[in-house]
Amino acid sequence: MESLKKHPRFAGVEGPVVLVVMDGIGIGRQDEGNLVHRAKTPNIDWLAEHAIASQLKAHGTAVGLPTDGDMGNSEVGHNAIGAGRIFNQGAARINTAIEDGVLWDGEVWRELTGNVKERKSTLHFIGLFSDGNVHSHLDHLRAMLRRAKDEGVGTVRIHALLDGRDVPPTSALEYIDDFEGFLADLNAEHGVDYAIASGGGRMNITMDRYEADWDMVARGWKIHVRGEGRAFSSAREAVETFRGEKPGILDQDLPGFVIERDGAPVGPVRDGDSVILFNYRGDRAIELSRAFDEDPFDKFDRGPRPDVKFAGMMQYDGDLEIPKKFLVPPPHIDRTIGEYLSKTGVKQLALSETQKFGHVTYFFNGNRSGKFNPDYEDYVEIPSDRCPFEDKPEMKAKELTDKTVEAIESGRYRFIRLNYPNGDMVGHTGVFEAVIRGIEAVDEGVGRIMEAVKKTNGALIASADHGNSDDMAARDKKTGEILRDEHGRPRPKTAHSLNPVPVYVYDPSGQSNARLSGHPDLGISSLAATSLVLMGYEPPEDYTPSVVEVG
C-alpha cells in the first residue's frame, strides 16, 4: 500500500480536521416524531445555515446492504465511513452463500451437522429472533433448519433473543407465532424434533457489546446453555406472563426464560452438541462466542463448559479470531482512511464512550482490532454508564467533549474522529423526552468543538452513521400517519430510520475555499475523502468522492 499523495492545490487546514459522528441523528420530515427537529439545537442549526451543508445516504445499498429497504446501522455505517468505499455487508453475503449453496458446502457447516448426526446429539441455534436485518435475519435460520432437516438432523433447539429494537418494540409474539407454525410443519411432515428451548430480551441477556456488562452474557449462558431459569411451556407463555407482570415492558428488556417439557428443560447445551450463533453482526456476538471458545475464561463462572462444536454465522473479529469457526467469511476491508494516515505518518485520535468505542476504532478500521501503527494512533474510551440510557440521556457527552477539545487544542493530532452515541442509544429506548435531552447534549458538545476548531484554524465535519431519533413515531404502514396511544401521544418506534443524514463542513478560517463538489447521490462513504481533502491529501482513486472541493 502506498502513502497518501499531497493535494495538488491545497496544503490542508492549519489545525486538526475533526470528524464528528452524531450517531442516529438523521434528517427526517419535520413533524412530532422527529425529535432532532423538536430538540433545541442552536449549534447544529447554525451549521445548517452557515456551514457547507448537504445530505448523505446512510442506508441500503449506500452502505452495502442488500436493498434500499434496509435501514443502516452503526456497524456498516462506520465501515463505510472509515473505508471511504462501499463493501457488501453481512446480510448480502449470507443471502448469496445460501443461494449458491456455498454455506452448505463449507467445511464448518458439514462439521457441525456431521457431528450431531454421528452422535445423535442436538444442533442448537442461538440468535436475534427477528427480521430486523441488523444482527440477523430469521430467513437465514429458516433456511438452515430446512437444510438440517434435508440432511437428516433429528433434533434442533432454538434459543430466541427477542428484539424490539431493530423491529417494532413489542412485536415478539408475531415472530414467535409465525416461527412456531413453521416448526410445527417441519416436525409434522418430516418427523423431526425442532423446538424453541430458551430465550429472553436482547438487552437483558446475551447480547452485550464492548464488554459493557458481562453479567448480561452470564445470564444468557445460564438460560441457553445450562437451561436454568424461569420455566414455561412455550415462548408465547413466557412473553405473555412477563408482559402481565410488568405492563409496558419492551421486548428488548424481557427477562430470560427456559422452555420445559415433562418437568425438564427441553434444550440445554450438552457435551457432544453443535451450536451455531446465527447473528452475523459482530459487536453483540463476540462475548458469547468467547464464552464458548475460550479456555481459560475469567469473565464469569460458566460452570462445567459443555464440550461442543461452536460456530458463528461470521467471524466477528478477524484479528482475535473470534470465533474460531464460522459459516461465512467476512468482507475483507482494506486501505481504510486510518490505515492510509498511519502509513503516511499522520497522527490521528479516535474517541467515544464504551457503547460506540468499537465503532470509531474496530468498525471504522475495517473490522480490525488494534492499531495500524501505535506511533500515529491514539484511542480514548470513556466508560459508559451502566444504567438504562433513558435515565441518563446525556450519557458521557460532556466527558467526551472535554477530551476532544483538549485534544484539538493540544496540537498533537491532524485527524480526530469521535462518536456521540446519544441520538441512537437513547433513540432505541423510545422515551421521547430523554431522546430530546440526549440530542441537546450532543448539540452542546458540537458547539464546544466548533469553538475549539475555530481557535486552532482547524475544520469540522459533522455527520452521522444512520438515522434514528429523526423518525421516532410508529406510523400506519399505508397512510404514513402517526400511531397514537390512549393519551394521544405518538407510539414510539425504536428502530433506525431510513432517512439520509446531514453533513456539515465548517472551515472557520476559510483557508480551504471549500464548496460543494456537486457529486449526486453521495453516501456516508464520502466522509473519508472529505476528511482527506481538508487535511490536504488527495483521496485514493477508488474512494467515494469528497463532499467538498478545496483549493
The minimum distance between CB 86 and ligand 3PG, in angstroms, equals 17
Q: Which does 443 bind (CB under 5 to 8 A by kind): Co ion, ligand 3PG, none?
A: none
- Within a 13 Å sphere around the CA of 184, how many CA atoms are in the beta-carbon half? 6
CA distance 502 to 255: 37
Tell me whether residue 284 is annotated as binding: yes
The candidate with the shortest Cα–Cα distance to 468, out of 74, 44, 56, is: 74
CA distances from 159 to 133, 181, 201, 224, 277 (A): 18, 16, 11, 6, 9
The footprint of ligand 3PG on this chain (CB under 6 A) covers a number of residues equal to 10
For 105, the grid coordinates are 458446502
CA distance 268 to 223: 8
Task: Mark out the alpha helices in 262-415 (DSSP H runs).
Answer: 286-293, 337-344, 354-358, 397-410
Residue carrying the nine cell digits 418506534: 493
Member of 134, 156, 452, 453 binding ligand 3PG (CB under 6 A) = 134
The minimum distance between CB 541 and Co ion, in angstroms, equals 32
The minimum distance between CB 362 and ligand 3PG, in angstroms, equals 12
Options 72-80, 369-377, 518-526, 529-537: segment touching ligand 3PG (CB under 6 A): 72-80
Counting contacts by CB under 6 A, is residue 165 touching ligand 3PG? yes
CA distance 360 to 347: 15
Which candidate in 54, 74, 384, 463 is catalytic?
74
CA distance 178 to 111: 30
Tell me whether residue 209 is annotated as binding: yes
Is the CB of 159 or the CB of 302 nearer to ligand 3PG? 159
Member of 41, 54, 74, 113 binding ligand 3PG (CB under 6 A) = 74
Counting contacts by CB under 6 A, is residue 284 touching ligand 3PG? yes
For residues 87 and 66, the answer to whether their CB atoms sit within 8 Å is: no
Look at strands 257-261 and 193-201 and give their pairing. antiparallel
Tell me whether residue 526 is annotated as binding: no
Tell me whether residue 283 is annotated as binding: yes
3-class DSSP assignment, residue 205: coil
Is the CB of 135 or the CB of 493 nearer to ligand 3PG? 135
Q: What is the DSSP letter of 548?
A: E
CA distance 509 to 512: 8
Q: Which residue is nearest to ligand 3PG (CB)?
A: 73
The minimum distance between CB 382 and Co ion, in angstroms, equals 18
Counting contacts by CB under 6 A, is residue 223 touching ligand 3PG? no
Tell me whether residue 193 is annotated as binding: no
Counting contacts by CB under 5 A, is residue 424 touching Co ion? yes
For residues 12 and 536, the answer to whether their CB atoms sit within 8 Å is: yes
The candidate with the shortest Cα–Cα distance to 225, out of 206, 212, 201, is: 206
Q: State yes or no: is 74 an active-site residue.
A: yes
The minimum distance between CB 135 and ligand 3PG, in angstroms, equals 6
Tell me whether residue 78 is annotated as binding: no
Active-site residue list: 74
Name the site residues for Co ion (rule: CB under 5 A).
Answer: 424
Binding site for ligand 3PG (CB under 6 A): 73-75, 134-135, 165-166, 284, 424, 428
Where is the binding site, in residues? 23, 74, 135, 165-166, 202, 209, 281-284, 356, 424, 428, 465-466, 496
